[in-house]
A and B are shown apart, each in its own frame.
Chain A
Amino acid sequence: MASGRDVRDMLGLPMGGAVGEQAKAAKKAKASGGVRRIQGVAREVAALYGERPPPVAVYEEKKSYRAKRQSTGPAKKWVQQPFLNQARSDGLILRHWRRKHTTTPALQDGEDTAMEDIESTASYVENCGDFVKYNLSVDLPTFSDEEYDAHLRSNDWSREETDYLFEVVRDYSYRWAVIWDRYDYQPANKSHLTQETVNADAQDALAALPFAPPKTRSVEDLKARFYDISAKLMKLRIPEVQMDADQFNLYEILKQFDPQSERNRKGLAAALMNRNMDEVKEEEFLLTELQRINMAANRLDAERAELRARLESPSPNQQAAAGLASFNTSQGLQQLFSQLFQQDRSKKRASGSGTGPSRLSLNTNDLATPSSNAPGSMSAANRRQSMAMPQSAVAQTPIRTLPREQEERFNVSSHERLQSGVTFNSDKLMKMRQAKSNVQTQKIAQALQELGIPDTIPIPTSRVGEVFETLIGKVSKLLDLRKVREKEEGEIRVLEAMKERRASEAQADGSRSGSTTHVKNEKTDVMDSQSTSGLHHNTSGSVSREPESRGEDGDGDVDVDAEGEEDDDQDVDAEGEEESRQPSEAISSRGISVGRQSHKRSASELSQGSQGSTKRARK
């Protein structure tokens, strides 16, 4: 590793620089080492790590697991604080540990204070209401004796038992399973010595006799009685008409309780629970099967939904549509206008300059005469335009369009709709040159070249643009007509060829004595030739692009200048001529010549056919 030094030596570089550099590097390393000191670790321990940082995180002392105990003064004193529970009425005093409350910080030393503290804590009884919120009781309907006699009597239930039922329901807070479990009504009146029973002991004994063996009542019986009474009481308190929705629902539920159906339901539930192993297994099997089928169906649905989502167009943006929807009607626009007008007026007042002639501000005139084209012309674009160019705004207001001469004179124009942003007229002209297809564009370009119109028009004023637009329209019309003509001509050729062939066939038939088989053969031949000739025409048409354009070169001036349809036709004719003259085969452009040609062909074919037939005849 002494090479660096050697090199320096050889090159005669000073040694001192290297030494200085080394020192600097060492210093740098030291500095960086100093920065990477680990917090919360003793220096000696940190040194053991070496150069590398420890692979696991070292917890810093500041963020340690347990908060450091803060010694704030002497230990707090705790006392067994007697307290009263607010939920109790009997004044039971229990003791719990509480931090000693320091109401009397009078003296800090000596036993006297301790004594005092003890006395004060002994006398002080905390009133503990922390857990009163858990002391809940249920609401029960209540009834008076008169109400019971008038409405709630039942053959099956005595008054005492009804009271007992209500008591039990209160005790067990509507937990019917528990109520039924604990329901143990003793009609012998050991504990239920009510006023009535005392008064009429004998009667009561008689009355109680039917119930002497305590009835075993089912949950449904208990519920039926309770709900029946509740419903009746509810109706008494609030007439049905005055009940609100919740109350009426509750009333309906109470009224419609049917112990029999409830019993049936429970029977079914019990049957469900008491199924044997095989039934359960079968059900499990069926359920898994069902799940499998459902999953397959879901997957299929998901796939279909995805496909549909792909085929459907994206849904329109509802929010944007909703935002603009209010301006679609004339009322909406009028409202908007009045709003703007108000704003404008208040702004004007604030600024103080009331007499500005500029059309920046709206006036009532504008509002009063919303013309028929108001919704269109008052669109946002127009308004923006008026803000941007206040000078031309006069002309642009929909109501005051200038007469044509003045418009020309001042060189202003009114537009139905303006695109936002600035555009060059030359761009517009360029756009007109473009057609949908490349070929068409080329054709247009050629036509324009023939007319001597340069690729870039020097001063593209709006008028020039207009003229250019009409010119382009005519050119495109011309091109369309040419195409139509070509097509028509092709058809004519075909038809004429057919006609000629028929004629020649007729002749051949006449001259020949031939058999039916021959005729058939010929016919098929004819068909073949027809199709091939048709094909030929087509190919020739598509191949002959260059000659066509050449023809255009020749006829171009006349065509554009004349602007007549008849002339167009002539022109097309001429073009067709040239085109059909081109192919190496001797197909003349004229319809007759074509006909002749095809006739010739078919004749030769016929002759071939006749040769074949003669051959066959020889055989």
Chain B
Amino acid sequence: MNIPNPSTAPVPGEYAGDEVSAIVLDPGYWTTRAGFAGEDVPKSVCPSFYGQLDNDSGAQYLFGENAIHTPTGNLEIKNPWGADGIVEDWDTATKIWEYAITSRLTGAKAGDPAKNGLNDGTNANGDSMDVDIDALDNQEKPLEDSPLLVTEPGWNSAKAREKYIEIAMEEWGAPAFYLQKTGVLAAFASGKASGIIIDVGASHTSVTPVLDGMVLRKGVQKSPLAGNFVSNQTRLVFKQSQPEIPLTPHFMVKSKTPVDAGVPAQAMYKTFGVPPTDSFRRLEEERVLTEFKESVVEVWSGPGRLSNGNNEDISKAMPGRPFEMPDGWNQVFQGERFRPAEGLFDANAALQDADNPRPKDEHTIPRLVQQAVQHVDTDQRPLLLSNIVITGASTLLYKFNDRLSHEINQLYPSTKNRLVAPGTVVERKYAAWIGGSILASLGSFHQLWISRKEYEEHGPGIVEKRCR
């Protein structure tokens, strides 16, 4: 193949690309990603958490990074996702997603300057107000120009899927809609049509076997051992250490003075008239824990588990990593930093207390992979095992891939197991969105859209028929 000068544009049709300014929405537990198809990074990434202020005039919702991290009294932080990895609170979920789309991608339309109200001078009579309301009514549908591609988890229920298309068609007025599973899209983002996709997100870890761009439903596995689980394990590590390690979020600290390692913090704390809610504090603590996970936590890279032989001693002998809490407390973590993530691979190694029961053995990642492979036709297993795609932000844990590779080779020593893990952070975190961006910008994909006309003809049930 001759590669032309990089400065020349590819011939139209060479990559079957045909962009129709479709919007790709990839909602997740931690963040919601949205952007135009054909771009390589989602333009709009906003937290899936939202703030709820209960006033006299009813509930007020706050969306977006800036709003939810401001310590405000009575601000309840909530998440529309349920414990089973399916959206629970559809109303607010819709609002969050709409916010993700409209805040960055589709603003208010530039209307006629004579009518958009900006040039209205003194005479604001009733007629013009009516016109404005009409205009507002028209603008209420944020997606009239763009087809919408939404991603869904592999285990999404039929009811939830119908809900998606109802939102897109009824509330947002999308001209066309399509629903695709995250597993398939993550595989597309890595350039694979077949493979096993291991997605370790915030709330759930899923293992999805994909064959020729189609999810093998029987093989889809999910477990709650994911990023949040690691956070909870970290909390337990803090709690069980002697003395207990205090976890103070940023918003509480007014000023701090440096202290020696392990010495109690000397910091000035903020005082609030109305103290922030527990849910707000928990969210802020999560942010600190995220920082801790990123900089300190390491996965025991194998071979073997952390509890095997003298691996634990080896891990203790490895160089430690320092961490400083927002209030100035600091310490070098050595053996402990291997503990939080070990539970992902070894249920016995997980720390436990009353709130955090021992995870089930079948929820560990190697067991999930095993189960997924078990539910696939024998002939396809080697093919799938040679394309194991790793995605999800929690897979960015240090040495995660090394350990996973060891575990899988332990399970299937006779096949050629190959892990495909995108190197860049963005590609790892947003693989499903990128896959959707690729898919929705293909010219050959346009015949798959469910159009408004089809939706009106067949009702929401068409999703089950068309988006397989």
Contacts and interface: CB of A to CB of B under 8 A. Distances in A.
Interface of A: 65-67, 80, 85, 87-88, 90-97, 128, 130-131, 134-135, 171-172, 175-178, 180-182, 219, 266, 269-270, 272-277, 279-281, 283
Contact of A269 (B16, B20, B218, B378): B378
Nearest to B21: A95
Interface residues of B, number: 42
B414 A96 contact: no
Given A67-B7, A270-B378, A273-B378, A182 B217 contact: yes
Interface of B: 5, 7-8, 13, 16, 18-21, 145, 147, 175-176, 211-212, 214, 216-219, 376-382, 410, 412-415, 443-444, 446-447, 449, 451-454, 468
9 contacts: A80-B21, A87-B446, A88-B446, A90-B451, A128-B18, A131-B18, A178-B216, A275-B413, A277-B410
Given A175-B211, A181-B218, A276-B413, 7 more contacts: A66-B5, A67-B5, A90-B451, A92-B451, A95-B21, A177-B216, A181-B376
B468 A92 contact: no
A266 B413 contact: no
Contacts of B382: 273
A134 B211 contact: no
Contacts of B21: 80, 95-96
Nearest to A272: B414
A95 B22 CA distance: 10
A96 B37 CA distance: 12
A178 B21 CA distance: 32
Contacts of B20: 94-96
Given A92-B451, A266-B378, A181 B446 contact: no
A181 B20 CA distance: 33
A93 B145 CA distance: 10
Contacts of B452: 92
A66 B447 CA distance: 37
A178 B19 contact: no
B7 A66 contact: yes
Given A131-B18, A177-B380, A178-B211, A92 B7 contact: no
Given A66-B7, A273-B378, A277-B413, A92 B449 contact: yes
A280 B416 CA distance: 12
Contact of A175 (B214, B378, B410, B444): B214
Contact of B453 (A91, A128, A276): A91
A585 B281 CA distance: 137
A130 B176 contact: no
A92 B378 CA distance: 41
A277 B20 CA distance: 52
A219 B377 CA distance: 8
Contact of A280 (B5, B218, B380, B413): B413
Contact of A130 (B18, B145, B451): B18
Instruction: Name, among A65, A88, A281, the residue most crowded by chain B CB atoms within 10 Å (CB to CB).
Output: A88
A182 B375 CA distance: 12
A131 B443 contact: yes
A87 B449 CA distance: 11
Contacts of B176: 92, 94
B378 to A, nearest CB: 4
A281 B18 CA distance: 50
B412 to A, nearest CB: 7
A276 B413 CA distance: 7
Given A266-B379, A273-B378, A280 B414 contact: yes
A130 B445 CA distance: 12
A547 to B, nearest CB: 90
A181 B216 contact: yes
Given A65-B5, A67-B7, A280-B413, A131 B447 contact: yes
Contact of B16 (A95, A131, A277, A281): A131
A369 B123 CA distance: 128
B373 to A, nearest CB: 9
Given A85-B447, A175-B214, A181 B453 contact: no
A465 to B, nearest CB: 74
A90 B176 CA distance: 11
Given A65-B5, A97-B19, A177 B376 contact: yes
A178 B454 contact: no
B304 to A, nearest CB: 12
Contacts of B412: 273
Instruction: Name, among A177, A276, A277, A279, the residue most crowded by chain B CB atoms within 10 Å (CB to CB).
Output: A177
A344 B177 CA distance: 84
B468 A175 contact: no
The 7 closest A-B pairs by CB, nearest first: A87-B447, A92-B451, A134-B444, A177-B377, A131-B443, A94-B20, A181-B216
Contacts of A85: 446-447
Contacts of B447: 85, 87-88, 131, 135
A85 B176 CA distance: 13
B18 A273 contact: no
A269 B379 CA distance: 8
A182 B16 contact: no
Contacts of A94: 20, 147, 175-176, 446, 449
B415 A131 contact: no
Given A67-B7, A88-B451, A130 B443 contact: yes
Contacts of A135: 444, 447
A162 B145 CA distance: 43
A339 to B, nearest CB: 52
Contact of B7 (A65, A95, A171): A65
Contacts of A67: 5, 7-8
Nearest to B441: A96
Contacts of B451: 88, 90-92
A177 B211 contact: yes
A79 B287 CA distance: 45
Contacts of B214: 172, 175, 178
Nearest to A95: B20
B379 A177 contact: yes
A128 B412 CA distance: 48
A176 B444 contact: no
A277 B449 CA distance: 47
A180 B414 contact: no
A273 B415 contact: yes
Contacts of B415: 273
B321 to A, nearest CB: 33
Instruction: Name, among A172, A181, A283, the residue most crowded by chain B CB atoms within 10 Å (CB to CB).
Output: A181
B450 to A, nearest CB: 9
Given A88-B447, A182-B217, A280-B414, A96 B377 contact: no
Contacts of B212: 175, 178
Given A87-B447, A88-B447, A178-B211, A134 B19 contact: no
Given A66-B7, A280-B413, A95 B145 contact: yes
A96 B36 CA distance: 13
Contacts of B16: 131, 134
Nearest to A181: B216
Nearest to B219: A181
A326 B7 CA distance: 63
A171 B5 contact: no
A130 B16 CA distance: 9
Nearest to B383: A177
A177 B382 CA distance: 13
Contacts of A181: 211, 216-219, 376-377
A341 to B, nearest CB: 58
A281 B410 CA distance: 12
Contacts of A91: 451, 453
Contacts of B379: 177, 266, 269
Nearest to B376: A177
A257 B444 CA distance: 36
A427 to B, nearest CB: 66
A183 to B, nearest CB: 10
